[in-house]
Amino acid sequence: MLVVDDNKVNRLLLARGLQELGHSITFAENGREALDTMRRESFDLVVLDIMMPELDGYQVLEKIMMDSDLRDIPVIVVSAMDELDSVVKCIEMGAEDYLSKPLNPVLLKARIGACLEKKWLRDQQRELISKFATSEVAEDLLATGFSLGGKYVEASAMFSDIRGFTTISESQSPEDTIELLNTYYTLMFDAITGHEGVVNQIVGDGLMAIFGAPASNPDHATCAVQAALEMVELVDLFNQEQAGQGKLQLQIGVGVATGQVIAGYTGTQNRATYTCVGDAVNVAARLEAHTKSAGHPILIDENTHLGLNGIITDDDLGLVDIKGKTDKVRVFAIPVPSITASN
Amino acid sequence: MTDPTIDPGTLEALASTTDAQFVHELIDTFLDDAPSLLENLETALSAGDAETFRRAAHSLKSNGASLGAMPFSTSAKALEMIGKSGDLTGAADKVEQLQAEFKEVMKALRDYKDET
């Protein structure tokens, strides 16, 4: 904890009050010293007197808020009773709370406790959200708050799953199956996030990813296809390792389709997921399912083909019947380097 | 009825949440610091520096209140307001008065220390 006050009596009072609460304290006698110290060491909380020579509390706060390393540290401003307008200014600038002089130890304890708890909760929240969402979705969520509903975006949707997964899981112990799945996920996540995609759903061995939302990306089609190529390559390498150990190998199928989708949170207020809805999503899923009969691991739709703009070569497979669509869909296959033989 | 120089309630409350030794330390710190703050007041007054004047008065007000020296604190507050206004004319008398009050505060605090 950092205590900033140019007045020795106050520093003494604060030190005593805070030490009673079991915190370790560092002192600064003015604003400049405070900022230097904050940049050198990390603190859980800063108690800042408003009235100080050179740089007053308000100016220190301003500088803290401008520094991305410092702005998340909670600041409690301390003021005299007749300085409430300064306090208001500080709170608007971003101070967490205030205390007035003379300092009351009970209030001190309560305010500091509340502040630290809030910070802890915020850190926990950020960490938790990041476990269940990508950092992009987490930041978006923390910044804009959660609301059901979505917006239209141009994006590429990707589906991928493991061929014959049910059979595989039946031939192994549950532990081995989960281990296999987790290895597969790690590889797939790497490939997808490495190309600016966001994995937004995992259902069994099936994966759904979005390119172009929540953060917009004009090259979403190319990124999606590049990710797909890397996914296939990673599985190939994995298979070589597995073969070396006499363990079973995987085959995956990937479908990518592009178009206007609605991206956002769907579900209820209590349980929701960030996802995409739209024709492109359905087509991507169907394309993925079609990879088996097509004999190609990566299939894309015409919009994705157009989005590639020739950067990646593809083979026109012509018009194909797709479940759920009355009209045939023009499908393209992305050639992959020769894969270990599959059946 | 005028307020006592030192409000015993303030010091007692402080002693109960900390201890007698701490209160003594606080008193010592205050008595150490106050003279230079009072000097700052004088210097700032001669220099016409309202901002420094104001800050010195502010600290004296704040510390006075922390130690229960209410009348002293109130006088310091008046000086702070003068400093805030930016116009230090006529403050000289009040500064002298504050210095006199400080001597009383000093005596009262030393008596308190002797008794506790």
Query: Worst-scoring range by mean pLDDT, A24-33, A49-58, A110-119, A189-198?
Result: A49-58
What is the ipTM score, two decimals? 0.88
Confidence (pLDDT) at A341: 46
Within a domain: B32: yes
Chain B CB within 8 Å of residue A178 CB: no
Within a domain: B29: yes
**Mean predicted confidence (pLDDT) in A155-174:** 89
Cα separation, A99 vs A47, whole angstroms: 9
Are the C-beta atoms of A77 and A87 separated by less than 8 Å?
A: yes
Q: Give the residue from B21, B33, B53, B59 with the most A CB atoms within 10 Å of its CB, the best one to mutate.
A: B59
**Mean predicted confidence (pLDDT) in A127-132:** 70
Per-residue pLDDT band for B108 (boundaries 50, 70, 90) equals very high
**Mean predicted confidence (pLDDT) in A216-234:** 93
Compare CB distances from B17 to A10, A80, A105 and report the shortest one's residue.
Answer: A105
Q: Which of A117, A52, A47 is nearest to A83 (CA)?
A: A52
Confidence (pLDDT) at A145: 67
A297 has a pLDDT exceeding 60: yes
Within a domain: B1: no
What are the structural domains of chain A? 2-131 (3.40.50.2300), 145-333 (3.30.70.1230)
| CATH number of residue B34's parent domain | 1.20.120.160
Within a domain: B52: yes
State in Å, rounded, how far the first CA of chain A is from the last one: 64
Confidence (pLDDT) at A339: 54
**Mean predicted confidence (pLDDT) in A72-87:** 83
If one compares A313 and A17, the residue with the highest pLDDT of the two is A313
Within a domain: B75: yes
Q: Average per-residue pLDDT in chain A?
A: 85
As beta bridge partners, residue A259 has A155
As beta bridge partners, residue A152 has A262
Within a domain: B2: no
Dihedral, CA of residue B52, residue B56, residue B61 and residue B65, to nearest 10: 140
Q: Are strands A2-4 and A46-49 parallel, antiparallel or unpaired?
A: parallel
pTM, two decimals, is 0.58
Per-residue pLDDT band for A28 (boundaries 50, 70, 90) equals very high
Q: Calculate how close chain B gets to A106, using CA atoms only, in Å.
A: 9
Per-residue pLDDT band for A343 (boundaries 50, 70, 90) equals very low
Domain count, chain B: 1
Chain A residues in contact with B10 by the CB 8 A cut-off are 102
Q: Give the residue from A5, A6, A7 with the most B CB atoms within 10 Å of its CB, the best one to mutate.
A: A7
Q: Which of A107, A163, A100 is nearest to A297 (CA)?
A: A163
Chain B CB within 8 Å of residue A80 CB: yes
A102 has a pLDDT exceeding 80: no
Chain A CB within 8 Å of residue B33 CB: yes
Per-residue pLDDT band for A132 (boundaries 50, 70, 90) equals low
Confidence (pLDDT) at A271: 73
Within a domain: B3: no
Chain A CB within 8 Å of residue B58 CB: yes
**Mean predicted confidence (pLDDT) in A75-92:** 84
Phi, psi dihedral angles at A325 (to 5 degrees): -125, 135
A342 has a pLDDT exceeding 60: no
Q: Domain limits at B64?
A: 8-115
The fraction of chain A above a pLDDT of 70, given in percent, is 92
Q: Calculate how close chain B gets to A275, using CA atoms only, in Å.
A: 56
Q: Which two tokens stand for residue B103?
A: 């001597």
Within a domain: B89: yes
Confidence (pLDDT) at A272: 72
Confidence (pLDDT) at A160: 95
Question: For B13-47, how does the pLDDT look when each residue is reduced to its tens digit (9 = 90+)?
Answer: 888 888 889 999 999 999 999 999 999 999 999 99
Question: For B78-97, how does the pLDDT look when each residue is reduced to its tens digit (9 = 90+)?
Answer: 999 999 898 888 889 999 99
**Mean predicted confidence (pLDDT) in B53-66:** 91
Question: For A254-271, how does the pLDDT look when each residue is reduced to its tens digit (9 = 90+)?
Answer: 999 999 998 887 777 777
Chain A residues in contact with B67 by the CB 8 A cut-off are 9
A108 has a pLDDT exceeding 80: yes
Are the C-beta atoms of A160 and A287 separated by less than 8 Å?
A: no
**Mean predicted confidence (pLDDT) in B112-116:** 89
A106 CB neighbour count, 10 Å cutoff:
10
Cα separation, A99 vs A87, whole angstroms: 9
Cα-to-chain-centroid distance, residue A11: 41
Q: Average per-residue pLDDT in chain B?
A: 90
If one compares A296 and B3, the residue with the highest pLDDT of the two is A296
Q: Which two tokens stand for residue A295?
A: 């004999």
Confidence (pLDDT) at A133: 64
Confidence (pLDDT) at A246: 84
Confidence (pLDDT) at B56: 92
